[in-house]
Structure 1
Amino acid sequence: MSDDFKVKEDNYNYALSIIENMDIENVENSMQKIYRFQQVIQKTLVEGHDYGKTFYGSSKPSLLKPGAEKILMLLGISSEYEIIDKVQNYEDGFFAFSVKSILKKNEKIVTEGLGHSNSRERKYLGGRQDIYMLGNTCLKMAKKRALVDATLTVASLSDIFTQDMEDMTQFEEEERVETMTLKDAQNIKVTFGKYNGNTLGEIYNKDKGYIRWLAEKSREDGISRACKLILSPDFETEEVQQKANKLPPE
């Protein structure tokens, strides 16, 4: 028997012994409490303030800093931060921070989370940010990401929220819109209105007029673009007809 096989067998037996020694009734009660807590959080947090609106391509909304702070307050948990790595190059305008968020209850560490931010992220490019403010901005962003990372872990909320990415959503959505295919468009799931939970492809087969309405009236660029892609043959036909109507008689 090889040493590697022996180590794997020992690890498996140890993991099995943990399960065998568990009080299943207590485990079941704990799981029910976690589920009820998740329900309370979902009912209590406010969309647009505590968590970000789900953008297409994501099945879960993103937990925002105010929401994370509210959850920690409910749990009676405090947070501390530790910078574990940093780069501050004012000459080249490059800044990077890796931060650890330490969550404590009654002065005992409960869990930790990690967050990183640097000035080469796309949202900082293009000269829209004062170079001398970038360092502070990146540090704050790293702290925020670390806090949310830790909160998702301690509250067992990873199955209902994603990491706090509201600062990236606009840029990611723009990229998705630019590279969207017809198949992508048809698979986008609507999270509002009478067809909540249906994909745009399914809605098209049920109510073509609603897709036309979304194409022109939706305030979400992604939804509008997707609907226009799905309707593209019709749009082309209409444009041809409009041009023909404007042609002077021969």
Structure 2
Amino acid sequence: MNEVIERPGIVPQVEGRSSVAEVTKHVIAVQEVMKSVMKQNVHYGSIPGAGDKPTLLKPGAEVLCVTFRIADDFIVEDLSAPGVIRYRVKCIGKHQSTGITLGSGLGEASTDEEKYKWRKAVCTQEWEDTPKDMRRLKYGRKANGHYTVEQIRTEPADLANTVLKMACKRAKIAMVLNVTAASDMFSQDLEDLDAELVRHLAEDDRENHMQQVRQEWKEKATATETEEALRAVMKAGVKVFQETRDMDGYKEFAAVIQEHGAKLKKGATDA
């Protein structure tokens, strides 16, 4: 026999306030949906360097709308100007059964945003044939240095639909977080961050982790009291630095090994 599943829904508060029991029940419902229905990297994800809370993605916002019977309604404000397409959208969440407004969220998108404003030139010839005020060299970071990319300005009109959809998505996710009070479990959707910024955040996280690994193995080396123990630490540490391809860390580690080895050897000779 099929069981009848009662969806939690959100009870519109015409007046007064929700009881503690109602609030608790609601929070538990959000947590259960996250654990039982949502999948990482599908409904929510994480952005390196963007905090500990997972970020709510559009499919996750849709799940919460279905779960709590939230209908969305969009009000679009066109703020475009010559040379730029810009939209501000207000997403209003309403109770599906009663039509009562539960809350809203704002979202905005523009072709002046970094990821929409520029594109990589198809070839060097295209970059050279583009007026100087419509092209640029984009600098990016890489291991032990930087790189450049030849970019030219995009045509704003070609991206009008894209930025409108992005503004709607941002507004809806903001509305869902406001209406479901899920901000303590999710942060605003960050999947639309500029790819270069995401990469920088990831690199910062990796650099911090590498520094911790370097310090850990240097401390392990200096803590050894015999040459045999030092050789064992050296063998294990070298393997770690090879796997992570951290040549700078390996050089620092090797210098510590050499210095501490000399001390241990001198101590053994003096004894």
Is 2:52 aligned against 1:59? yes
Q: Which runs of 5+ in 2 are unaligned?
A: 1-15, 121-153, 221-235, 255-271
Per the TM alignment, residue 61 of structure 1 is displaced from its structure 2 partner at its CA by: 1.5
Which residue number in structure 2 is paired with residue 3 of structure 1? none
TM-score by structure 1 length?
Answer: 0.62
Instruction: State the Cα deviation string for residues 73-119 of structure 1 (Å, max 9, x = none).
Output: 11111001001342153xx2x11110000111121111010001111
Instruction: Please give the residue correspondences for 1:125-164 in structure 2 after superposition, counting only pairs within 5 Å.
Output: 125-127=117-119, 131-164=156-189
Per the TM alignment, residue 47 of structure 1 is displaced from its structure 2 partner at its CA by: 1.3
Distance 1:157-1:187 versus aligned 2 partners, 3 A rule: farther
Per the TM alignment, residue 237 of structure 1 is displaced from its structure 2 partner at its CA by: 7.2
Per the TM alignment, residue 70 of structure 1 is displaced from its structure 2 partner at its CA by: 1.1
Instruction: State the Cα deviation string for residues 162-218 of structure 1 (Å, max 9, x = none).
Output: 11110216332223356x399x61499xxxxxxxxxx868976799579647625xx
Instruction: Please give the residue correspondences for 1:37-186 in structure 2 after superposition, counting only pairs within 5 Å.
Output: 37-43=29-35, 44-87=37-80, 89=82, 92=83, 94-105=84-95, 106-127=98-119, 131-168=156-193, 170-176=195-201, 180=204, 185-186=208-209
TM-score by structure 2 length?
Answer: 0.58
Q: Which runs of 5+ in 1 are unaligned?
A: 1-21, 189-198, 217-227, 239-250
Distance 1:57-1:82 versus aligned 2 partners, 3 A rule: closer
Instruction: State the Cα deviation string for residues 130-162 of structure 1 (Å, max 9, x = none).
Output: 543211111100000000000001111101111
Distance 1:109-1:200 versus aligned 2 partners, 3 A rule: farther
Asked if the contact 1:97–1:118 (Cα under 8 Å) also holds between the matched residues in 2, the reply is yes
Structure 2 counterpart of 1:172, one-letter code: L
Q: 162-171 or 72-81, which moves further after superposition?
A: 162-171
Structure 2 counterpart of 1:32, one-letter code: T
Per the TM alignment, residue 53 of structure 1 is displaced from its structure 2 partner at its CA by: 3.0
Which residue number in structure 2 is paired with residue 221 of structure 1? none
Structure 1 counterpart of 2:92, one-letter code: I
Distance 1:181-1:28 versus aligned 2 partners, 3 A rule: closer
Which residue number in structure 2 is paired with residue 233 of structure 1? 249
Greater percentage in helix: 1
Structure 2 counterpart of 1:51, one-letter code: Y
Q: 1:215 is matched with which residue: 225, 229, 244?
A: 244
Q: Secondary structure at the match of 1:72?
A: helix
Distance (whole Å) between structure 2 residues aligned to residue 36 and residue 122 of structure 1:
39
* Alignment coverage as a number of residue pairs: 188
Distance (whole Å) between structure 2 residues aligned to residue 32 and residue 202 of structure 1:
44
Distance (whole Å) between structure 1 residues aligned to residue 41 and residue 174 of structure 2:
19
Structure 1 vs Structure 2: percent identity of aligned residues?
Answer: 26
Distance (whole Å) between structure 1 residues aligned to residue 53 and residue 252 of structure 2:
35
